[in-house]
Amino acid sequence: MTAPRVRQKKMDLLLCDAETLPTLPGVAHRLLPIVMTDPLPARHLQQAIESDAALAARAVLLALRHGHSAKGLTSVDAAFRAVPSETLATDFLSVRIASRESLDRAFFARLWRHNLAVGIASQIIATRLGTVLVEDALLAGILHDIGQLVLAAKLPLAYSQVLELVEAEAVDALEAERRVLGLDHAVLGRRLAQHWGFPESLQNVIWLHHQAEMPIPEGSQAETLARVVHLADLLARQAGFSYHPADAIRENTADVAARLGLSAAHADLISRQIVAGVRLNVGPSGADDTPTPDQMCDLIADANARLGRLYAISAARQHSLESQNRRADLTVQLTARLAECRSTREVLLAAAGVVREAVDARIVVPYVIGSEGEYIEGLAWTAGKSTDEPFFYEIRQERSLESLPAEGWAGPGAAGEVSRAERIEGWLFERMGPRLGDGPFYTVPMTLEGRKTGGFVFALANPAHHPTRTQAGDLASVAGIAATAVKRAQAETDLNALSEDLAEATRELELAQEARLEQRNVTSLGEMAAGASHEINNPLAIISGRAQQLALDEEDPARREMLATIVNQVVRITDILAELNEFARPAKPDLRPADLAALTAEVAAGFRPGADKPAARLRVETPAGCPRVRIDPGQVAEALREIVQNAFEACTDNHTITLSVQPVAGRQAVRLTVADDGPGMDPPTRARALNPFYSSREAGRRRGLGLPKAYRLVQASGGSMALESAPGHGTTVRLTFRAIFEESIPEKLLAEADPSDNRSGRKGDA
Amino acid sequence: MKDVYSTGEAARVCKVSQQTIIRCFDAGKLQGFYVPGSRFRRIPRDSLVKFMKENSIPISALDSGKKKVLVVDDEAEIVELLTDVLQRDGRFEVKTASCGYDAGLLTQQFHPDAIVLDFLLPDINGNTVCKTIRSDPTLADIKIIVITGYPDDDRLQGLAELGVHAFMKKPFQIDTLVSKIAELLAV
């Protein structure tokens, strides 16, 4: 191994674990009571730090650990501002004391004084110069030999040899160190300062304070500081504050001072000031004290006790932080999962998963109580099963479940406590019982605004365990979030249902409006026709009468035939008018209970396949047990005949007309459907299908009164008639009648129909 | 053609009171006989004609022997048609009215055997006309035939209770109408 690499290795060893450097027993003896005092006497603490290299180094290190940047961290003041004094105090509780056995403690005492002296000297010089901050000079001076402190503390035996070499051969410490250890404290100190991240100015001071020539820009602040400390070191040693009695000063102090612009007289003055300063500071610092081992023991025991207490507090804080962190993790996890949930079931499933992870559960049964307390919805999630078991219990009034705490909930668990479930959630065990497996079971309520909205029942994977308080807290958080999410999901579901209802209502409203328009159309056309019939019948009577008269006198058979045609055509007109009139004012219905199925079968039987043209097939589906309806059987049969006739006329032999009767709307109504798979109507035809004057067939063949007439007749019996048709999809006519003996039927199923005809104000009705 | 008249019928034909006829019958100025087994007086057509001629009573009413029919309709063409038809038949003497008021007046003056009534008149409802006629016992023998252009009016219900003898829709078969009237008047 080459020398530089060996040196590097050694340095690495020294660098690690060098953070806590020893101080003198007397200093520690003064320091410990200070840091154990409440409230902390910060000024005393700062004074202690400013006179001790080990403590100063530690303070700077802590400031760096607290995130203070190295730049600007050039004074004890700065370090003190960066670190809470309580933190410094706690740290100093574990102060290290220079060991007695390994190295002459006198060396540590001398080194301590030397450091203090150089600090004071630097301060004085800086004050005199005015170009370097006094506080910076103090810290630099205190810390300038930090490398030496490390070497002595870490390698006490080797350093004893160094000191012997210094004494025996009158070499300076750096030389002796290099000879014995292969490196000197200036280099090591610089590396250490680098390693710790000390400000560069400090690094330079520690490295260069022995040299007259410095590899840093001349005239810079850093150079001035290093020269200040260099001079301070020389002056302190001159004043007798050397780290070794055999230390010989080889440099010319006056030259060094001159480099800073100070005269020899200045230097002498400074030297005297150093002596006074050290004397002033040593006393309060306790450096000269020699506490007995018993005193130290007691003090250290006290410090240990305090450390123990502080540790306990911090451990507790740590634990609570950890559980808070875990809870935060849980809630973040749950919130993330819940964000995806759109239904109560999804929320419960997500929450069950989180509960399982939180307490290692064997089974989790989350449930919610309906907002009116009318039902319980939940699911049983079991470890190892791929599917959960949803359940929904309706709560009937006559069978109210014991312990269903839907209202006024303020029971245990609300404060994040886990209760045994068997007692509280009796309803669950009553219903699911053995399927839940063996207990013990626990329950955590979901509460929202003081009301219990649900809960989690669970059993742990290990039945011997009991949920801890922390877990209880976790579960309470989960339950709280789940409760809110459930409410949101319910609201969303309600909203969906509401919008569906709205859409349905709108659709029905549109249909009703359409039906009303259709009816108004039909009625007004019929009214008009009826009114016209009187006016038309008079001239018809004259035409017919005169033609008959002429025919009586007519000798020519051809002319008599023509006159007969006139009379016959008048009869035909009269028939049309009569039909229109009948349409407009259907005869008063004779309402009585009837079996729609039987009526349908009867009407169907009346249709015989026509011999003249191939007819569509007629199929009848009438299940037994339909409720009876109150109708005018004759009129409804006539209506049905019209509808079927219409279907027959639209269809050919490869089509089927299906008549079916079935109960609808929970047996509160009966529907008669006439469906054909014929060509269907195009929209214009469909739109006018109930128009009494409209017929898609050849003019004169039929007057197109079939469907409109059926419509009127069905209405007269209190029913509704709906027509659905599209080209290629056939035509379906649905007649719906209210069933008998049922209390109510949704009005929407029945268009308004007024069978009693109370028209008045007719012509001549005065 | 009637051969034998009661005292009431003779009084109506002669336009005198029934008491006058009875007095003349009892005084032998008007020849006749009693219905066997009763005190009902009967006057043969020949002796009534002789009595009317002796007393200078116009015999036109007796002579026609036709049934009197009152046609009531607000439609002039209908009235004209019906008048034409009934007169051409030869058995009816026809008067016409175009409103309820005229109908009432003529009923009293003309004392028709039958009224052909349009049910919906401009001033008075056919119902009212019927009721008025039926409330007068002296008009009890008038037959009422209703014709209407409204075939299915609810108000046509109960026409029978109003003393309507026949009901026909417009337009009608004229021979059916004529034979109906003849049937009702037994001619």
Using one digit for the tens of pLDDT, what is the confidence trace for B120-165?
A: 766 777 778 888 888 888 888 889 998 887 755 566 667 777 788 8
Rounded CA gap, A173 and A237, in Å?
13
Are residues B172 and A545, on separate chains, in Cβ contact within 8 Å? yes
Q: Which of A527, A533, A536, A537 is the best substitution to test chain B (most B C-beta atoms within 10 A)?
A: A537
pLDDT at A693 over 90: no
- What's the rounded Cα separation, in Å, for the pair A4 and A543? 142
The helix (H) or strand (E) run that includes residue A167 is helix A156-169
Q: Which two tokens stand for residue A686?
A: 């469909």
CATH superfamily of A340-480: GAF domain (3.30.450.40)
Chain B: closest CA distance from residue A526 (Å): 14
Instruction: Tell me the C-alpha to C-alpha distance, in Å, between residue A68 and each of A85, A202, A735.
Output: 15, 16, 88
Q: Are A526 and A580 in contact (CB under 8 A)?
A: yes
More confident residue, A394 or A567: A567
Closest residue in A to B85 (Cα) is A549
User: d(Cα B77, Cα B71) in Å, to the nearest integer?
Assistant: 12
Q: Which is more confident, A547 or A684?
A: A547
Does any CB of chain A come closer than 8 Å to the CB of residue B174? Answer: yes
| Chain B contact set for A538 (CB, 8 A) | 75, 77-78, 149, 170
Q: What angle separates helix A25-35 from helix A293-339, to the nearest 10 degrees?
A: 50
- How close is the nearest chain B Cα to the Cα of A540, in Å? 6
Mutation target for B interface from A527, A543, A546: give the one with most B CBs within 10 A. A546
| Cα–Cα–Cα angle for A546, A547, A549, rounded to 5 degrees | 65
B172 touches chain A (CB under 8 A): yes
Segment (H or E) for A676: strand A669-676
Judged against a pLDDT cut of 50, whether residue A415 lies above it is answered with no
CA-CA distance, A662 to A621, in Å (whole number)? 9
Helix and strand numbers (H, E) in chain A are 26, 15
- In this prediction, residues A240-265 reach a mean pLDDT of 81
Residue contact A545–B125, C-beta within 8 A: no
| pLDDT tens column, A423-438 | 777 778 877 777 788 8
Is A541's CB within 8 Å of B78's CB? yes
pLDDT, mean of residues A687-716: 67
Is the CB of A544 less than 8 angstroms away from the CB of B171? yes
Instruction: Decide if A375 contacts A394 (C-beta within 8 A).
Output: yes
- The answer to whether B77 contacts A542, with C-beta atoms less than 8 Å apart, is yes
Q: In this complex, is the C-beta atom of B46 within 8 Å of any C-beta atom belonging to chain A?
A: no
* d(CA A763, nearest CA chain B) in Å: 8
Q: What is the rounded average pLDDT for all residues in chain A? A: 79
In chain A, CATH 3.30.565.10 sits at: 589-749
Per CATH, the number for A589-749 is 3.30.565.10
pLDDT level of residue A542 (50, 70, 90 thresholds): very high
3-state helix, strand, coil in chain B (%, to 5): 45, 20, 35
- Does the pLDDT at position A194 exceed 70? yes
Rounded CA separation A342/A349 (Å): 12
Give the residue from chain A lying closest to B122, CA to CA.
Answer: A764
Residue A529 contacts B where some CB pair is shorter than 8 Å? no
CB contact under 8 A, A538 and B84: no
- Cβ atoms A147, A21 nearer than 8 A: no
pLDDT tens profile A296-324: 888 888 888 888 888 888 888 888 888 77
Interatomic CA distance for residues B171 and B147, integer angstroms? 9
What's the rounded Cα separation, in Å, for the pair A478 and A696?
69
Cβ proximity of A695 and A709 under 8 Å = no
Q: Does A582 touch chain B (CB under 8 A)?
A: yes
Distance CA A443, CA A404 (A): 13
Enter the tokens of residue A715: 């209405």
Residue A761: band (very low, low, confident or very high) from pLDDT cuts 50, 70, 90: very low
Report yes or no: A759 at the B interface, CB cutoff 8 Å: no
B172 contacts on A by Cβ (under 8 Å): 541, 544-545
A568 touches chain B (CB under 8 A): no
Q: Which candidate in B72, B79, B81, B168 is best for mutational testing of the A interface (most A CBs within 10 A)?
A: B81
Chain B residue nearest residue A573, CA to CA: B171
Kindly state whether A134 is in contact with chain B, defined as any CB-CB distance less than 8 angstroms.
no
Contact status of B108 with chain A (Cβ, < 8 Å): no
Other CB atoms within 10 Å distance of the CB of residue B83: 17
SS (H, E, C) A624-673: CCCCCEEECHHHHHHHHHHHHHHHHHHCCCCCEEEEEEEEECCCCEEEEE
Work out the minimum CA distance from A733 to partner chain B, whole angstroms: 30
CB contact under 8 A, A537 and B170: yes
Chain B interface includes A569 (CB < 8 A): no
Domain with CATH 3.30.450.40 in chain A: 340-480
**Is the minimum CB–CB distance between B63 and chain A shorter than 8 Å?**
no
> Across A17-26, A205-214, A480-489, A592-601, which has the greatest mean pLDDT?
A592-601
Q: Which of residues 110-149 of B touch A (CB under 8 A)?
A: 120-122, 125, 147, 149
d(CA A151, CA B93): 162
Residue A544's pLDDT is what?
A: 92
Q: Is pLDDT at A727 greater than 60 in this prediction? A: yes
pLDDT tens-place string over residues A217-235: 777 888 888 888 988 888 8
B175 close contact with A: CB closer than 8 A: yes
Tell me which chain A residues have a C-beta less than 8 angstroms from the C-beta of B149.
533-538, 541
* CA nearest neighbour of A102 among A40, A142, A157, A52: A157
Location of structure tokens 């079931």: A345
Range name among A579-593, A610-624, B78-92 with the lowest pLDDT average: A610-624
pLDDT mean over A720-740 = 86
Inter-chain touch B152–A766, beta carbons under 8 Å: no
Contact B149 A546 (CB under 8 A): no
Provide the strand spans (E) within A406-450: 419-420, 441-448
3-state secondary structure of A731: strand
Q: Interior CA angle at A710 toward A708 and A714, to 5°?
A: 120
Compute the nearest-CA separation of A756 from chain B (Å): 13
Distance from C-alpha of A35 to C-alpha of A24, rounded to nearest angstrom? 16
Shortest Cα distance, chain A CAs vs residue B7, angstroms: 40
pTM over 0.80: no
| pLDDT computed for residue B81 by the predictor | 92
For residue A658, the cross-strand partners are A619, A675
* Res. A339: pLDDT tops 80: no
| Rounded-to-integer distance, Cα A117 and Cα A281, Å | 9
Residue B57 touches chain A, beta carbons under 8 Å:
no
Query: Which ranges in chain A are annotated with CATH 1.10.3210.10?
Result: 3-286
- Tell whether B170 lies on the interface with A, counting CB pairs under 8 A: yes
% of chain A exceeding 70 in pLDDT:
88
Q: Mind listing the pLDDT tens digit for each residue in B78-120? A: 999 999 999 888 888 899 998 888 888 888 888 898 999 887 7
The token duo for A436 is 């839940």
Rg, C-alpha atoms of chain B: 19
SS3 for B186? Answer: coil
- Cα dihedral A412, A417, A421, A425 in deg (nearest 10): 40
Mean per-residue pLDDT, A1-30: 75
> Domain A3-286 belongs to what architecture?
Orthogonal Bundle (1.10)
**Amino acid letter, A344:** T
A538/B contact by beta carbon, under 8 A: yes
Residues of chain B in contact with residue A764, where contact means CB-CB under 8 angstroms, are 120-122, 125
**What's residue A703's pLDDT?**
54
The alpha-carbon gap from A689 to the nearest alpha carbon of chain B, in Å, equals 26
The helix/strand/coil state of B68 is strand
Q: Which of chain B's residues have a Cβ under 8 Å away from the Cβ of A542?
A: 75, 77-78, 81, 171
Question: Quick one: three-class SS letters along A256-287?
Answer: HHHHCCCCHHHHHHHHHHHHHHHHHHHHHHCC
Q: Which of A162, A156, A154 is nearest to A244 (CA)?
A: A162
Q: Which domains does chain B have, with CATH numbers?
A: 4-63 (1.10.1660), 66-185 (3.40.50.2300)
**Are the beta carbons of A135 and A75 closer than 8 angstroms?**
yes
ipTM: 0.70
Token pair of A84 as six digits: 């809470």
Point out the residue among B77, B81, B171 whose CB comes nearest to the CB of A537: B171
Which of B85, B121, B153 comes nearest A549 by C-beta? B85
- Tokens of residue A282, six digits: 């040593």
Q: Identify the pLDDT of residue A394.
A: 76
What is each CA distance from A30 to A72, A155, A329, A543, in whole angstroms?
29, 26, 47, 143
**Which residue in B121, B150, B171 is closest to A545 by CB distance?**
B171
In this structure, which long-range contacts are made by residues A60-63, counting pairs with CB atoms below 8 Å and at least 24 apart in sequence? A60/A139, A60/A143, A60/A196, A60/A198, A60/A202, A61/A19, A61/A196, A62/A87, A62/A88, A62/A91
Chain B residues inside the 8 Å CB shell of A585: 152
Does A91 score more than 70 pLDDT?
yes
- Residues of chain A neighbouring B78 (CB-CB closer than 8 A): 538, 541-542, 545
What does the alpha-carbon distance between residue B84 and residue A420 come to, in Å, rounded to a whole number? 111
Half-sphere exposure of A103 toward its Cβ, with a 13 Å CA cutoff?
A: 28
CA–CA min distance B72, chain A (Å): 13
pLDDT score of A757 more than 50:
no
Partner-chain contact A541 B150, CB within 8 Å: no
For residue A603, how far is the Cα from the chain centroid? 65
pLDDT of residue B115: 92
A399 has pLDDT over 60? no
Rounded to 10 degrees, what is the CA torsion of A169, A173, A178, A180?
A: 60
Judged by CB atoms closer than 8 Å, whether chains meet at B125 and A764 is answered as yes
Looking at the complex, report in whole angstroms how far the Cα of residue B28 sits from the nearest Cα belonging to chain A: 50
Instruction: Supply the pLDDT for residue A613.
Output: 53
